[in-house]
Amino acid sequence: MPPAFGVLFDGIAYGMLLFLLSVGLSVTLGMMNFVNLAHCSFAMLGGYVTVTLMNFFGWPFFATLPAAFIVAAAASVVLERSIFRRFYHASDLDQCLLTIGVVFVSIAAAAYIYGTDEQPVQLPDFLRGSINFAGLNFAVYRLFLIAVALVITILLVAALEMTRFGAQVRAAVNNQRMARGLGIDVDTLFAVTFALGSGLAGLGGALAIAMVGLDPSFAFTYLIYVLIVVSVGGLGSIAGSFAAAMLLGVSDIAGKYYVPAIGSFLIYLVMMVLIMARPTGIFGRRQA
């Protein structure tokens, strides 16, 4: 089978995963300009929830997914209400430092509780193996991942375009001051959006285990990818996050396959060039 298709398929699957991990951060950054470097800590939390529920409590894989979402969302609410909300108007530096502190704590805690090894997870039988279609092999889990991500994307877009909540989110991202002036409770809106975004990250973390592995360094390693997606795609843009995630996913896999010696270097270089060319991202808006 031409390896190009395999690379493309893997790249798309990886891109979908990156999208799930990034979309929450893109929207919350676009809305409140709060640089939350701890975003992937919530993803990591979701991953460890799945591991704990499956390996220690014997839960089936599918049941752990909503649990990962909920626990990550709940944890984000706790952090947001107690500490983060005081820093919405603080400097970039303070926000970075605060959230880096959270990342350090989360990585240390994960290493303490679970150790530094990659966590094993037993997927249900029907998610393992691969399907043969038109002479090409498609890994079942990756198909599953793509399907889940597409469903969530459709739900997100529908929610944004068709619900009142979505309209308020779009308004707040576009121009926070104006939204407040129109009577939108931006603070509550943000808390809810933050929880949803972190929950999605948690779900992404849970789904990531069987694809890229889970260990305490996840919170930082994937932070870099998520930041790239968000910066290149544009703050507050779901379409931008999707496009950038796809771009990054395919490029990363292709780079590692075709030019493994300099794969990452090219990614970082392209990322920087894109950010310099369009600092607000491909689909980004000017900050109002």
Partner 1 sequence: MTTATIAGPHDALQTQARWQWAEIAFWLATLLPFILAPDYLLLASQVAIAALFVLSLDLILGFAGIVSLGHAAYFGLGAYTAGIVSKWGWGEPLTGLLIAGLVAGAFGYLTSFIVARFRHLPLIMITLGIGLLLQEAANSASWLTGGFDGLQGIHTWPIAGKFHFDLYGYTAYGYALAVLFLIFLGARRLTLSPFGLALRGIRDNGERMRAIGAPTRSHIRTIYTIAGMIAGIAGAVLAQTTETVSLEVLGFQRSADVLVMLILGGAGRLYGGLLGAIVYMVARDRFSGLNPQYWYFWIGLLLIAVVLVLPNGLFGGLSLLTRRTKAAS
Stretch 18-37: interaction string toward partner 1, x if CB under 8 A: -----------x---x-x--
How far apart CA 270 and CA 232 sit, in angstroms, is 10
How far apart CA 231 and CA 279 sit, in angstroms, is 8
Residue 288 interacting with partner 1 (CB under 8 A): no
Residue 139 interacting with partner 1 (CB under 8 A): no
Stretch 61-100: interaction string toward partner 1, x if CB under 8 A: ----------------------x--xx----xxx-xxx-x
CB contact set of 257 (below 8 Å; sequence gap of 6+): 3, 7
How far apart CA 169 and CA 24 sit, in angstroms, is 12
State the angle between helix axes of 238-258 and 140-162 in degrees (0 to 180), rounded to the nearest 10: 160
Residue 271 interacting with partner 1 (CB under 8 A): yes
Biggest CA pair distance of the chain: 58
Q: Retrieve residue 212's tokens.
A: 């890229």
Smallest separation (angstroms) from partner 1 to the CB of 195: 20
Please say which residue, 150 or 288, places its beta carbon nearer to partner 1: 288
Smallest separation (angstroms) from partner 1 to the CB of 190: 17
How far apart CA 215 and CA 162 sit, in angstroms, is 38
Answer for which of 231, 237, 241, 251 binds partner 1 (CB under 8 A) is 231
Answer for which of 59, 165, 220, 257 binds partner 1 (CB under 8 A) is 220
Answer for which of 63, 112, 128, 161 binds partner 1 (CB under 8 A) is 112
SS (H, E, C) 238-251: HHHHHHHHHHHHHH
Chain residues that interact with partner 1, rule: CB under 8 A: 29, 33, 35, 83, 86-87, 92-94, 96-98, 100-109, 111-112, 220, 224, 227-228, 230-231, 235, 261-262, 264-265, 268-269, 271-272, 275-276, 279
